[in-house]
A and B are shown apart, each in its own frame.
Chain A
Amino acid sequence: MIARMRLCVAPLAAALVTAAVLAAPASAATARAAAAVRAKLPNGLTVIVQPSPRLPVVSFRLVSRAGSVQDPAGKEGLARMTAELLTQGAGTRTAQQVAEDIEFVGGSLEASSRTEQFTVSCDVLKKDLATGLGLFHDVVVKPTFSAEEFARKQEEALGTIASNRSEPSVIAEQAFSSYLWGDSPLAHPAIGTEKSVKALARDDVASFHRRFVAPDRSLLVIAGDVEPAAILAQVRKAFADWKPSGEPVRDPYAAPAPVAARGIRVVDKPEATQAQIRMGCIAVPRNHPDYDAIQVANTILGDGFTSRLVNAIRVEKGLTYSISSGFTQHRGAGAFRVSTFTRNAKLRECVDATLAEIGKLANEGPTQAELDKARNYLVGQYPLELQAASDLAAQIATVEFYGLPQDWIAKYNDRVRAVTMADVKRVLGAYFCSDKLRIVVVTQGDVAKQALDGLGPVEVRPID
C-alpha cells in the first residue's frame, strides 16, 4: 500500500503538540474529557491522571530526564541500551516472560530513549489493568539487566548499526545531526557507534538506570478509562519502593553557537540514484515564547500540501515526492530543518530552489491569506491528536516535560489565533535560515560534489 504524502520522512519537530478541546465546553450531546488530576509522590514522582472513558483502554506513560545527552563520552549508546534492556527481564520475570505476559493480554510495553527523553509506555485494555501496572512497575523499577541479555542486545545493536548503513534516510539524519550540533552531546546518534557500543558494559547500564531513570526526575501520565482516586492509590502503592537518585536535575549541554557560515557535507553512497537532502541551522528551545509563531510560520513554509515548499518543489517543479520543514526543539536548544530527496540529476536545482523559497518567504513574509490558512490548519488538526488515550498521554507528558503552563493544552487555540503577521515576519527573519546553514546530501559523492560546486565549501565523507 502506498500513499500520497511524505509518510516516511523525517520526524518533524518532536514538539508539535496539539490538544485544545480538553477544556473547551462540550457540545450538549457529549461528555468530553474531564479535568486532569495531579499528585506528587514522596519519592518525587509527578503523577498526572487524565480520565478519558470512551473506550475500555488504559495508557501509562513515564518520561524521565534521561537520554543520549547523558551518554558518557566513548560510551555513546548507553541510554538507548538501557531502554532496550528494560523489558528484557524485570522483577521475577525473564525476558521471555515479560514478552509473554504483556502480549498474552494483547497489550504493549515499550521502552525507548531519545535525545533527552527516556520513555516507558504501557497500553492495556481496562480489564487487564492489574497485569499492565504490575509489568510496567517492574520494568521501570526492577529491571534485571542480566549479563546474557546485555550481551545479546549489544550484538543486536551492532547489527542494527551495520544495517542502518544501507538506509539512505537514516544515514542522512545521523550525518545532519552530527554536522549541525558539532561537539555537543546533542550530536551523536542515540544508538551510538560500533566502537562506543563495544565499549559498553553491563554495569554501565545498571548505573545509568539508577542515576537517571529515577522518580525525582520522572513524570507519569495515565490516560484512559480510569477513576483518578483509585488509580492514584494503586500507583502510590506500586511505586512506593522506587528510590530517588538525588542526581542533580539539569540539562548536560549548552545552547550551541549559531551556524557562522554555509557548509556542505556529502556522504558518499555510490549506488544511490536518489539524493537525500537535509539542511538547517540552530534555532531556539521548545519552551521559547516564539513557539506558536514559529509553528504558524513553519506551517506556511513547509508543513502541509499547500505550503510554499511543497508547492514549489513538488507541485510546480516535480522535483520530489516529499519535502517538509520543521523544528527540532529540546529543553535547552533547537534547530530549524528541511528534509527532502530528489533524483541525482536534479540535486542542484532542488537545493537552489529550496533555499530560494526559504529566503523569499523570510524576506517578504506571507500573504494574509496564507497566515489565516496556517492558523486555521493548526487549530483544525488539533483535536485529532486527542482521540487515542496513548496520544493524549503523550501530549500531557510533553507539556510537563518542557515546563509549559498547565493550561497549555486548553489555551492552544487562543494562542495560535493570537499570532500576528508581525510575529510571523519576526520569527521568519530570526530562525528560518537560507544562507548560514548546514547542508547534508547522501548520494554518489563525485556526482554531488560536482553538482554543488560554488554553493559553499563541500566535504565528501564515507558513511560513518
Chain B
Amino acid sequence: MLRRLCLAAALLALASASAFAAAPKPAARSAALSPERFRVERDSLPNGLQILLHEDHSVPAVCFFQWFRVGSRNERQGITGLSHFFEHMMFNGSANVPPKQYDVQLESQGAYSNAFTSYDQTAYYEEGGTASLETMMRLDADRMRSLSLLPDLLKSEVEVVREERRFRTDNSVPGMLDEALYSAAFVASPYHWPVVGWMKDLERITRDEMVEYFRTYYAPNNCTIIVSGDFDPAWVKAKLREYFGDIPRQAPPPRPVNAEPEQRGERRVSVHYPSETVTFVAGYKAPAVSDPDHYALEILASVLGGGESSRLHRALVYEQQIALSADAGFRAQLEPGLFEFWVEMKPGASGADGEKALYAELDRLVKDGPTERELQKARNQVESRFVYTLETNRGAAQMLGRYEQNHGDYRALFDAVDRYRAVTAADVQRVAKQVFDARRRTVATLVPENETEAAR
C-alpha cells in the first residue's frame, strides 16, 4: 500500500486484504468471513501442484491465478531483478505458443492477463468469461512446462524492464526513496535490493542463469493455482490434471539466506533531487508474518495511519498543518520487514519538524496505548476491507493466494479473524514499544536540490 505509491486497483485490493479483523459481533462475521460462507476446495496433483477453487456464480466470469513462491528474496547479488524479469518473459513464448500468441489467444477469447512481482512472490492472473477458462489453462500449462526464453526476446524485453525502472524508480520521488530506505535498512537480508533490480544487473543477467532459475522456481511443486468465479469444479479438476499433470516435479528450492544482523543505531540516508517539498520515509525493523505479533502491528498501523481520523493525519496534517500527507503502513512478509511512515511536508516545512512531530505521536502511543474506540475502529476497518475484497473474483483469489503463501494454508485467514479480534490495547502498546526503537530506525529523506536547508 505505501511502498509502491503507484499501484493498480488490483494491487490495492491485495493490500487491503492484508489485514482484516473480527466483526464486532458473531452475526456479522458469519455474513462473509466464515468457512461456511466463503467456500474453498483444496486439490493437488501428484507433481506437487497445489489447487484452490472458490465458486461464485454472480457474474459469468472467472479469475485464474498461477501463484509462484518466488520473488526477489530468492535472488542474490548480480541477478537482482531476475524474478521480475520472468514476469515479463512468461508472456514471450513457450514450446507450443509462439511469441505474442499468449496474449493474442487470450484476448481473442475476450480474456485479459497480467501479473505482479514482489519480494516474496510472482503471481500471474487471467480474467475473462467462463468460456475462456480452458484457454487459460492450456496457455499457462505450456509456459510452465516449456518456456522458450528466446535470446532475441530476452534482449528486447530487458529494455522494457529498464524503461519500467526509469519510470517507477529513477524519475519518481517515492520510487527513489523506497529504494534508498530498503537498501539502507537491510544489509544482508534479501530485502536489501529492489524488486525491479539494479540497473547494471539487468544489463548482465545471462540466459543460463534464467534457465536454471526457471527450472528451480517455476516447478509445479512451487506453485499454487487458484480459480475463482463461475465454473464447474469437477470439470476444472479434470482439466487441470489433463494440462498440468505431466509437468515434472523438481527438487524443492533452497531456502533464501537471510543473514541480516541486529541493527544497533539509527541509519539516515538522503537523496538529492529537484523538488519543492521535502518527503521522508521512516522505517522501523518489524517481524515477519511467522510472528503472531503481526496482527497487533497491523492494528497499530491502522490506528496511526488509517484515514483522516487517524493519529498522524490529525496531528501533522490537520492540527499542526505542517504536512501534505502522513501515512503509516505495515504488512507482514516472509522475511522481517519494516513498519513504515511516509510524510510529505508542505512547501517550506522541514523534514526535521516532520520527524519531531511523528516521533512525538509514536512516543504518546508507546506511553498510553490506543483507546478502546481506536481499537474497535481498526477492527471495523479491517473487517469491511475484507468484505470489499470479496466483491470481485480477483480480490477473492488474490486473498487466498496471499494467505496460502504467507501461512502455508489459506485457512489461516479464518484463524486471522479471531487473531485480530483478540488484539488488546495492551498488545498494541507492547508491540509499539518493541518496534518503535530509534536504534532500529532508518530514515530516507528527499533533499530538494534547490532548497537543501529545508531538509536538515
A residues apposed to B, CB below 8 Å: 1-5, 7-8, 21, 27, 29-30, 32, 54-57, 95-96, 99-100, 103-107, 123-125, 127, 152, 155-156, 158-160, 162-163, 165-168, 270-274, 304-306, 311, 314-322, 341-343, 369, 372-373, 376-381, 383-384, 386-389
Contacts and interface: CB of A to CB of B under 8 A. Distances in A.
B344 A163 contact: yes
A175 B321 CA distance: 30
Contacts of A274: 163, 166-167, 170-171
A346 to B, nearest CB: 9
Nearest to A123: B388
Given A5-B114, A99-B307, A383 B163 contact: no
B314 interface: yes
B167 to A, nearest CB: 6
B116 A162 contact: no
Interface stretch (B54-62, B204-212, B238-246, B248-256): B54-62
Contacts of A378: 110
12 contacts: A21-B59, A96-B314, A103-B308, A152-B318, A152-B321, A159-B324, A159-B347, A166-B173, A306-B107, A316-B156, A321-B161, A376-B110
A3 B111 CA distance: 18
Contacts of B116: 1-4
Nearest to B87: A4
A376 B11 CA distance: 26
Interface residues of B, number: 91
B442 interface: no
A95 B318 contact: yes
Given A30-B57, A125-B387, A304-B107, A2 B196 contact: yes
Contacts of A124: 384
Given A5-B8, A106-B384, 5 more contacts: A54-B58, A166-B273, A272-B171, A304-B112, A380-B128
A386 B56 CA distance: 14
Contacts of B111: 380-381
A27 B230 CA distance: 10
A106 B392 contact: no
Contacts of B167: 8, 274, 321-322, 341
B195 A2 contact: yes
A124 B118 CA distance: 31
Given A2-B168, A104-B376, A106-B385, A305 B163 contact: no
B30 to A, nearest CB: 11
A56 B100 contact: no
Interface of B: 3-4, 6-8, 10-11, 14, 28, 31-32, 57-61, 84, 87-88, 91, 100, 103-104, 107-118, 127-129, 132, 155-164, 166-168, 170-171, 173, 195-196, 230, 273-277, 306-310, 314, 317-318, 321, 324, 344, 346-347, 373, 376-377, 380-385, 387-388, 390-393
Contacts of A314: 160
Contacts of A273: 166, 170-171
A306 B111 CA distance: 12
A380 B59 CA distance: 11
B163 A341 contact: yes
A56 B346 contact: no
A123 to B, nearest CB: 8
Contacts of B384: 105-107, 124-125
A343 B166 contact: yes
A341 B162 CA distance: 12
A369 B109 CA distance: 12
A319 B14 CA distance: 30
Contacts of B376: 104
Given A311-B100, A322-B167, A381-B110, A2 B318 contact: no
A321 B107 contact: no
B277 A162 contact: yes
A168 to B, nearest CB: 6
Contacts of B168: 2, 8
A125 B306 CA distance: 18
Contacts of B114: 3-5
A139 to B, nearest CB: 13
Nearest to B117: A2
A21 B58 CA distance: 10
B377 A1 contact: no
Contacts of B155: 318
B121 to A, nearest CB: 9
A29 B229 CA distance: 13
Contact of B3 (A1, A316, A341, A369): A1
A106 B387 CA distance: 10
Q: Which of A27, A168, A306, A387 has the most CB of B within 10 A?
A: A387
Contacts of A5: 8, 114
Given A3-B11, A321-B160, A386-B59, A381 B112 contact: yes
Given A4-B114, A159-B277, A272-B171, A388 B163 contact: no
Given A380-B129, A383-B61, A55 B387 contact: yes
A160 B344 CA distance: 10
A56 B8 CA distance: 25
A393 to B, nearest CB: 12
Given A321-B160, A379-B110, A388-B392, A1 B170 contact: no
B104 to A, nearest CB: 5
Nearest to A158: B347
B309 A383 contact: no
Contacts of B381: 103, 106
Contacts of B160: 314, 318, 320-321
B277 A32 contact: no
A372 B6 CA distance: 33
Contacts of A386: 59
A57 B387 contact: yes
A422 B276 CA distance: 52
Given A168-B171, A273-B171, A96 B391 contact: no
Q: Which of B6, B110, B310 has the most CB of A within 10 A?
A: B110
Nearest to A314: B160
Contacts of B157: 318
A74 B84 CA distance: 48
B103 A305 contact: yes
A318 B202 CA distance: 14
A109 to B, nearest CB: 10
Contacts of A27: 57, 60, 230
Given A1-B116, A4-B115, A387-B391, A315 B347 contact: no
Nearest to A224: B391
Nearest to A4: B115
Nearest first, the 8 A-B pairs at minimum CB distance are A380-B110, A106-B384, A318-B159, A99-B308, A7-B8, A30-B57, A99-B309, A162-B276
Given A8-B6, A305-B91, A384-B127, A160 B324 contact: yes
A1 B11 contact: yes
Contacts of A100: 309, 377
Contacts of B100: 306, 311, 315
Given A27-B57, A163-B344, A381 B128 contact: yes
Contact of B306 (A103, A107, A168, A306): A103
Contacts of B383: 106
Contacts of A107: 384
A276 to B, nearest CB: 9
A2 B116 CA distance: 6
B195 A380 contact: no
Contacts of B307: 99, 103
Given A163-B324, A271-B274, A105 B380 contact: yes
A127 B104 contact: no
A29 B195 CA distance: 43
Contacts of A376: 107-110
Contacts of A55: 32, 387, 390-391
Nearest to A52: B58
Contacts of A127: 28
Nearest to A373: B108
Contact of A165 (B109, B276, B314): B276
B6 to A, nearest CB: 4
